[in-house]
Each structure stands twice: as C-alpha cells, then as structure tokens.
Amino acid sequence: AIDPQFHENRDQIDEHEGHTVWGPVDEPEELGIHGTHVAVDFDLCIADGACLEDCPVDVFEWVETPGHPESEEKADPANEAQCIDCMLCVDVCPVDAIDVDAG
C-alpha cells in the first residue's frame, strides 16, 4: 500500500501537470508518487481503472507509462484541487495505491 507518511519519507523531485512528483524516480521502471492531496503511487498502480470510473469530480486522467513493470498506464491525479474528500477512490483501488489527505 502507499505510504501515508510519504511527505516525510520521500523528497519532492519534480512537477507533472501542476502537481508534485515524490521520488525516487528512475524511468521507466520506477515512477514515484504523483500528487499531494490526492496521491497515487505509480509504482503500485496496476491500471485497474476503478478510481477513474468512480471519482464523482473526475480528478484522475490516464497517463501512458510504457515500460513500467506493473502497468503501461497510470491514474494521474491531474485535477487534485477538485477533490471533495469522498474517499471512494481510496476504498475501490485493489492495490491501495491512493492516499487522500482529508485533513
């Protein structure tokens, strides 16, 4: 499962589409965590798609990640600022790749 303490245990190493990327990153095999309020561990995501289907405010968008061992696309929290903290995505992800900091 995604480390809920990732803010403390990882470093902000990049930005992607307006959100933070938390390392380590070693493309294409290691991609880190995308997002902060809505955080997706790209190294755990298997492209199940439940988060995209269920999010009521369309926070997630697919991004292509060719060469990653788990899946060749990932659910990117492209619109994390729209999140309403319903926690549905956290509940439906089969590999617990998502952390939402509802405060």
**Binding-site member from 31, 45, 83, 97 for ligand SF4 (CB under 6 A):** 83
- Which span sits near ligand F3S by CB under 6 A: 4-12, 13-21, 29-37, 42-50? 42-50
Told to check if 33 binds ligand SF4 by CB under 6 A, we report: no
Alpha carbons within 13 angstroms on the beta-carbon side of residue 91 total 7
What's the rounded Cα separation, in Å, for the pair 25 and 6?
14
Query: Does residue 62 come out as left (phi exceeding 0), alpha (psi in the -120 to 50 range) or beta?
Result: beta
What's the rounded Cα separation, in Å, for the pair 100 and 28?
25
What's the rounded Cα separation, in Å, for the pair 75 and 92?
13
> What mask of x and - would describe binding to Zn ion in positions 58 to 97, judged by CB under 5 A?
------------------x---------------------
Interface ranges with Zn ion (CB under 5 A): 16, 34, 76
Q: Which residues bind ligand F3S (CB under 6 A)?
A: 40, 45-51, 75, 92-93, 95, 97-98
